[in-house]
């Protein structure tokens, strides 16, 4: 019933997220081009990124040690399928393992190596799921992978349990009674998959930090799920259930085959409704919030501490930006980092997606450049859009407002 959470290639995640963050932060900083000279701009950006780099570097190098991709033995003769599965394995490790675990046991994403999953999921379903993702449910759409690469990933996933016969389904619709299906859904399935199949709270195997947390029920009303799965496949999943997960078989739920047909028709009827309210990701342009202060650097720091208290943040610590890089006497008193934390929000956000720890707690950079003091922080709203999760997005919108208000209060 329970799974152990894994973070097999955290370094891959950090790398990819960091790359996009780095790119867009530079873009957004360059928008200030009319305000600053290019030289001061680049040092401003550099100041911001040095702090990000230190923590990421430590983590990525540590992870890189742990995670080495095994290279194929050169003298072994392989059938073409095996070779495909091997390049699929490399792709899987790069693109999927960070969420689904290197052996598919699940993590932020749900398990992919279960017998009942592999014996009910068609190749078409896997292909469509990889291509379209699950909007608003973290699972990204891999639009840049070629059909061949996707097939290789599928071959690799199949190689975990090569004895299983790959199922194929008719694309014919199942014509059940939608109303009766809804009644069944609202009395049984809703308890885990929530109203209209929006899916369980949180994601994948993990809910918050507990290492043995239950698997989160996927969003089965999600338009991308319904577009990927045929009626007959959904029926088979419900009939079979998934052993060793909370998803039990129809029989165990006390359902007859006609009940299942009705539920399938109800789920299909949800395809027209946008349950994600996030068809396109709404983001603010700026990855970094930058405010110009009308006070001295010391006053600005004091103001920020006061403002943060007013917004229920606890002051953690401050340091010069170059602390640890240079001798104590040489530290610049024109560049500071200051840390605050709102523990309630931190815990809530971590329970939705542990990767949020990348940019929490709240960290502001205060720098003096050409006699002007600037306060900068990462824009949570922007970063959250990279996570593709509606629930997180709401929290981050809220956080961005607070960050902006705090920076404004301390600089005006
Ligand atoms: C950022 C995290 C993340 C990454 C990266 C990711 N997934 Fe997912 N994946 C998820 C989550 C979360 C779900 C469950 C969606 C839900 O809760 O509705 C999921 C669901 C799936 C499903 C549906 C499983 C089922 O039971 O029907 C498949 C298949 C899948 N992912 C394959 C992949 C593959 C292959 C890759 C790499 C190419 C990949 N995923 C990368 C997070 C991720
Ligand atoms: C006790 C909680 C629970 C109940 C009740 C439940 N499910 Fe599930 N369901 C899950 C979980 C958890 C999974 C994911 C299992 C996994 O890891 O593959 C799941 C998976 C599924 C899937 C596969 C989705 C995908 O992305 O692969 C379908 C379809 C589904 N459930 C339909 C139903 C229907 C219809 C009902 C009601 C008749 C129902 N479930 C009742 C917890 C539940």
CB 108 within 8 Å of CB 206: yes
Residue 3 belongs to a domain: no
Q: Tens digit of pLDDT for each residue in 263-286?
A: 999 999 998 655 444 434 444 457
Pocket of ligand 1 (CB under 6 A): 95-96, 98-100, 108-110, 112, 117, 126, 129-130, 134, 137-140, 142, 153, 199, 203-204, 216, 218-219, 222
pTM: 0.67
- As for how many domains the chain has, the answer is 2
Ligand 1 atom showing the smallest separation from residue 203 Cα: 12
Q: Tens digit of pLDDT for each residue in 44-57?
A: 444 444 444 444 44
Residue nearest atom 43 in ligand 1 by C-alpha distance: 139
Residue 291 belongs to a domain: yes
Residue 163 belongs to a domain: yes
Residue 54 belongs to a domain: yes
The dihedral sign for the CA sequence 156, 160, 161, 167: negative
H-assigned helices in 31-71: 38-66
- Select from 252, 272, 292 the last residue of a domain: 272
Nearest listed ligand to the Cα of residue 100:
1
Percent of the chain with pLDDT over 90: 34
Q: Tens digit of pLDDT for each residue in 311-325?
A: 888 888 888 888 888
* pLDDT class of 90 with cuts at 50, 70, 90: very high
> Encoding tokens for residue 279?
């068809």
Residues 56, 190, single domain; the answer is no
Of 108 and 54, which is predicted with more confidence?
A: 108
Q: Tens digit of pLDDT for each residue in 143-160?
A: 899 999 999 999 999 999
Rounded CA separation 117/100 (Å): 13
- Select from 272, 306, 321 the last residue of a domain: 272
* pLDDT class of 202 with cuts at 50, 70, 90: low
* pLDDT class of 89 with cuts at 50, 70, 90: very high
Nearest listed ligand to the Cα of residue 242:
2
Q: Which domain holds residue 141?
A: 80-272
Residue nearest atom 26 in ligand 2 by C-alpha distance: 218
Residues 211, 252, single domain; the answer is yes
Residues 102, 126, single domain; the answer is yes
Closest CA to 407 of 375, 385, 367, 360: 375
Residue 347 belongs to a domain: yes
Per-residue model confidence (pLDDT) at position 288: 83
Residues 163, 250, single domain; the answer is yes
The dihedral sign for the CA sequence 34, 35, 38, 44: negative
Closest CA to 81 of 73, 91, 89, 70: 89
Per-residue model confidence (pLDDT) at position 287: 79
* pLDDT class of 176 with cuts at 50, 70, 90: very high
Q: Are strands 372-378 and 362-369 parallel, antiparallel or unpaired?
A: antiparallel
Q: Is 165 helix (H, G, I), strand (E, B) or coil?
A: coil
pLDDT of 32 strictly over 80 = no
Residues 140, 38, single domain; the answer is no
> What is the CA(144)–ligand 2 centre distance, in A?
29
């Amino acid at each position: 019933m329970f799974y152990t959470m894994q973070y097999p290639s955290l370094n891959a995640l950090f790398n990819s997220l960091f790359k996009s963050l780095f790119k867009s932060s530079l873009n957004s900083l360059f928008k200030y081009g009319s305000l600053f000279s290019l030289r001061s701009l680049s040092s401003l950006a550099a100041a911001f990124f040095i702090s990000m780099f230190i923590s990421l570097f430590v983590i990525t190098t540590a992870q890189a040690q742990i995670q080495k991709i095994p290279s194929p033995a050169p003298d072994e003769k392989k059938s073409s399928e095996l070779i495909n599965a091997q390049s699929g394995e490399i792709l899987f490790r790069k693109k999927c393992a960070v969420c689904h675990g290197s052996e598919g046991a699940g993590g932020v994403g749900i398990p992919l190596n279960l017998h009942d999953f592999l014996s009910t999921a068609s190749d078409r379903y896997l292909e469509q799921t990889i291509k379209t993702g699950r909007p608003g449910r973290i699972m990204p759409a891999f639009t840049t992978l070629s059909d061949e690469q996707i097939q290789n990933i599928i071959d690799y996933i199949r190689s975990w349990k090569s004895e299983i016969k790959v199922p194929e389904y008719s694309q014919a619709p199942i014509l059940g009674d939608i109303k009766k299906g809804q009644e069944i859904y609202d009395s049984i399935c809703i308890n885990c998959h929530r109203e209209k199949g929006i899916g369980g709270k949180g994601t994948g195997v993990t809910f918050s930090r507990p290492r043995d947390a239950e698997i989160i029920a996927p969003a089965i009303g999600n338009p991308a799920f319904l577009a990927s799965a045929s009626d007959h496949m959904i029926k088979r999943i419900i009939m079979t259930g998934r052993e060793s997960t909370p998803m039990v078989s129809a029989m165990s739920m006390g359902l007859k085959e006609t009940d299942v047909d009705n539920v399938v028709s109800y789920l299909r009827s949800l395809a027209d409704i946008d349950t994600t309210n996030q068809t396109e990701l709404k983001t603010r342009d700026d990855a970094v919030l930058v405010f110009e202060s009308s006070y001295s650097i010391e006053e600005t720091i004091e103001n920020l501490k006061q403002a943060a208290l007013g917004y229920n943040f606890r002051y953690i610590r401050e340091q010069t930006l170059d602390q640890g890089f240079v001798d104590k006497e040489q530290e610049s008193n024109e560049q500071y980092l200051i840390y605050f934390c709102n523990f309630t929000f931190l815990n809530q956000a971590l329970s939705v997606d542990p990767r949020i720890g990348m940019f929490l707690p709240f960290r502001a950079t205060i720098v003096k450049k050409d006699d002007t003091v600037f306060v900068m922080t990462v824009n949570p709203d922007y970063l959250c859009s990279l996570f593709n999760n509606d629930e997180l997005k709401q929290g981050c919108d809220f956080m961005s407002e607070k960050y902006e208000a705090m920076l404004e209060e301390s600089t005006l």
